[in-house]
Structure formats: structure tokens, C-alpha cells
Amino acid sequence: MPVNPQILGKLEHSQKVLETPPSEPPTPAKLPSRNPTRSFWIDSSPDANPLARQGSQDPLPSDADVCIIGAGITGVGVAYHLIELLNNASLSVKNPLRIVILEARDFCSGATGRNGGHLTPAAFLEFAQRQALFDTVEAIKSYKLEQHTASLLVKIIKENGWASDIDLVEGGHIDLMFTEKEAGNAHKDFDMARQAQLNLDGVEWLSKEELEKEYGAPYSGFREPGNNVWPLKLVTKLYQHAHAHAGKYASLKLHTQTPVTAVTHETTDNSSTYAVVTNRGSISCSRVVHATNAYASYLLPFLTGPDGIIPTRGQVMATRASVGTDQIHIPSWSGNEGFAYWFPRPVKYYTEKPLIIIGGGREAVAPQYELYVDDDSETHPLVGKALREFLPSVFEGKYDPLSEPEMEWTGIMGFTKMGDPFVGAVADLLLANPDRELYQKQYIAAGYTGHGMPRAFGCAEVIGQMILAEISDKEWKEPDWIPQRYLTRNRRVQ
């Protein structure tokens, strides 16, 4: 399928990227900041991050088979899938595959530990545009991947009995339409998606009157299947599960507080490996996975700028409602063309006033929209103002316009101009580059453009499959849910 890499994705998250050239020539991302803002997920409870400093003092191994850089949902997801795949394949191996995760800061302290907590697969929005830009099969795969990822995560959560530990809420998601134009586009997407036989189970249109009566929001919208979680606790469970199930076919180690500062290629007479260089020494490694999302261009400078991965700062706050959950109910929400997203945290009693996690507000700092900002040690006052004003203006009487949030933080997303991530071998991005051979056994899954929760774990599964295929000298068979345009072999940056 021909994919034009110059396509401007119209998805909310990416639409401003090309309209907003960088104010200065872009430079590669820096390493994650040393003093990030305190997020609800990481810092509101002392036991939220039991793996925070895991392996930070342990000596690094001198050799490994797979080095995964980054301990967010992507990095941990690659380790999880690789171990599951190895166990299922029951390969006859001489030695277990040595997998090492290297994390610059505390465990899961990047976007995954600082996000809005939504695990909601897109149901149909943007279908018409995707169908026109690509083709029907490719457009359908955009949603199939998200349904696959979200339902796999929910299945894993339930099968392992983690639902209450990680605060899974399967409350559905309501998308509010603030303008006629937005509503018109959404109906067009829905009609085209239905004609193309996209799975639209659980989608229900809601009139302004229905939404006002039930929830107090004077807008029309639609309901779609959706969940929210405590993302850090979910990723912690995934890591612990992977660690417990490694053994016969793999070993898994985690080293936090270990920023990777370079990956260099080393060739000897009979082998070709990478030196993964950190502040605590180097690891000689056969394969490298870049699970660094917004920060990818630090180690892969050719991903700098609009054709690569653009660090983009998102802001979130935790604010208390003025009324009980009985008057707010439990769905998660988005509105204002996706610029705002929020949900009430679970409560013990329905009359309890819930804490609302609300993110967004980047429209308040147009035309830069916090693009090209890779520092999560600060919040933006204008974004904060937009977030404070949002809920009281949409739900009259349910939020106090003067109340201050209990916590407010930022995190860095990795945007691409297409709105879609890069998934696969790094070398494939560099077809015309004489250095491409050096990247042959380096992999990447990054650039989710926000909205990574229903995509990253599926993309990590693809990387796991590719590594297993390479190890077993077989061809990777692509699953029927991965969009072609995600794959690095269909994308070029140089």
C-alpha cells in the first residue's frame, strides 16, 4: 500500500504539527529531566512505585542479548511479550535470552507514569480521512490495532486478578461535540465506518437533551467502550509478571537511574554487537530496542524535527469535584476536539466527591501547543488556567471554579506528523543512508502522538514478534491488526 510520509494527520493530537513550524531549528531531545513534576500516579501514594529504584545500585551485566531502553509501557511491553512468545514457542535454547531494561530515571516515570489514565481505543473518529488517505483495509486496521491492544490488556488484567489493584474502571467513554462542525465530521466518520463494516459495537449517539439530563453537559456526543486505569500500577504488574515467567527461556533485569548516553556498533571477526553506553558502564548487546518515545531523537538524532518524533509537553491535574460520584457517574470523557480528557477516580461510596484527573489545555498556548518542549520539570501557567476553567464551564454547579487542584504535573509525549508511531527495525528508516547496516538489529516503537495506552502494548508485541523471528531465523509474519503505515519499512526519515 503506498503511504505518503508527507501526509498531514488531522487527528487532534497531530494536526498542529505541520501548521506549527518550530520557532528555532529543532535539536535532538535531551535526556529526561532530573527533577520532573510530581504526578498523581507516581507521587500521591508512597507505595505506588515499588520498582522505582530497582537495580539502580546493582552492577550492570557486561553482556546481554536484548537491551531495552526505557521502562514505560512500551519497554516493559516488549519484555512481557518477548517472554510470553518465547515460552509459547518452547524453542530449544542453549542459554536463556538475557533481556535487560535500562531506565534513565525511576521505573515508569516518563509519559506512562504521568498521563491521563485513559485506556480507550478510538472507535471511529477520523475514519473518513484515513480511508481517503490510505484505503479501507488500512483505515480499519487503525481501529483494529487499538481494539486488540485495549482488549488484550483488559484480558491480562482480569485473568491475573489485577483489576482492583490497578483500579480498572470499565465505565465507557463519552466524547462531547462542542461545535456543529465537529458533530458533522463525527457523523460522517461513523457513516463511512459503518459502510466499511468496522466493528462499532458499543457506540451510541447521545443528544444534547440526553447528555444534559443525565450528566449536566449541554452538548451532544457519543458513548464508546472505554476504560481507565492507574497506568504505573498496570506497568508494574506487567513487569513483575514478565519477571516471574522468565526463567527457562529468558532472564529479565531492570536497571533504573541508568541513562543510556550512546549506542555504538562494534564488529569483531565473528560477531557484530552494540555497546550500550550508560553513566554506569557499557553493556555489550546483540539487539537494542528504543522504547524512549518522546526522547528517541537523543540516541537517534535523525529522528529530530517534523519528520521524526517531536517531544510535546502535556499537562494534567487532579481536582476535586463539588458533588458526589452519584451526580457525576463513572464514564471517562473527552471534548473540545480531544484537547480535553478527564475521568473521575473510583470512590468507596457513591456520595463521595471524586478526584477528577483532567488533561489537555494545550490549545491555550497556540500556535506552539507545547510542541518541541521536552522538559517535564515545569507546568505551563496558561495551560493550567485552561484546565482549571474547563470543568466548571462544561458542568455548571458540579465543580467549584475557585478550587485549586490537589496535584498538577506535566509529561512528554512523542508526536509524529502522521499521528502514528514508528514500529520496526531502525535500519528500515534509513534506506538511502550508508549507515543503515549499523542499525540492523536496533528496533523502535515510539511516536504515539499522545493516545499511547491503546497502541503501545500492541506495538511492543510486534517488536517482540520481530525479535523472536530474528532469533529463530524465520520470517516475521505480520498480524492482521497492524497498520502498514506504522511499520518502519514503509516510512523513511532519510
Ligand X SMILES: Cc1cc2nc3c(=O)[nH]c(=O)nc-3n(C[C@H](O)[C@H](O)[C@H](O)COP(=O)(O)OP(=O)(O)OC[C@H]3O[C@@H](n4cnc5c(N)ncnc54)[C@H](O)[C@@H]3O)c2cc1C
Q: Which residues bind ligand X (CB under 6 A)?
A: 31-32, 69-75, 102-105, 109-112, 114-118, 259-260, 291-295, 298-299, 314, 316, 341, 359, 411-413, 446, 448, 450-454, 456
Nearer to ligand X, 107 or 395 (CB): 107
Closest contact distance (angstroms) between CB of 376 and ligand X is: 8
Nearer to ligand X, 129 or 312 (CB): 312
Closest contact distance (angstroms) between CB of 192 and ligand X is: 24
Find out whether 28 and 22 touch, Cβ atoms under 8 Å: no
Q: Is 19 exposed, middle or buried (0-12, 13-18, 19+ CB in 10 A)?
A: exposed
Nearer to ligand X, 273 or 449 (CB): 449
Q: Which amino acid is at 244?
A: A
DSSP type of residue 492: -
Spatial separation of the C-alpha atoms in residues 156 and 227, rounded to whole Å:
14
Strands (E), 242-322: 250-255, 260-267, 272-278, 281-290, 310-320
Strands (E), 321-441: 332-335, 340-344, 355-360, 407-415, 422-425
- Record the cell numbers describing residue 462, joined without a space: 510486534
Spatial separation of the C-alpha atoms in residues 76 and 96, rounded to whole Å:
18
Closest by CA to 166, choosing from 76, 230, 241, is: 230
How many other C-beta atoms lie within 10 A of the C-beta of residue 332?
23
Closest contact distance (angstroms) between CB of 315 and ligand X is: 6
Nearer to ligand X, 192 or 485 (CB): 485
- Ordered DSSP codes for 160-178: TT-TTTTT-B---EEEEE-
Closest contact distance (angstroms) between CB of 476 and ligand X is: 21
Spatial separation of the C-alpha atoms in residues 74 and 457, rounded to whole Å:
6
Spatial separation of the C-alpha atoms in residues 76 and 282, rounded to whole Å:
21
Closest contact distance (angstroms) between CB of 236 and ligand X is: 13
Distances (CA, A) of 259 to 71, 240, 263, 422, 439: 11, 22, 11, 22, 20
Nearer to ligand X, 72 or 458 (CB): 72
- Record the cell numbers describing residue 211, joined without a space: 447528555
> Which position's Cβ is nearest ligand X?
452
Nearer to ligand X, 52 or 86 (CB): 52
Spatial separation of the C-alpha atoms in residues 493 and 167, rounded to whole Å:
40
Closest contact distance (angstroms) between CB of 455 and ligand X is: 7
Could you write out the three-class secondary structure of 55-102? CCCCCCCCEEEEEEECCCHHHHHHHHHHHHHHHHHCCCCCCCEEEEEE
- Record the cell numbers describing residue 94, joined without a space: 542453549
Nearer to ligand X, 153 or 192 (CB): 153
Nearer to ligand X, 112 or 220 (CB): 112
Nearer to ligand X, 192 or 299 (CB): 299
Nearer to ligand X, 249 or 282 (CB): 282
Closest contact distance (angstroms) between CB of 475 and ligand X is: 26
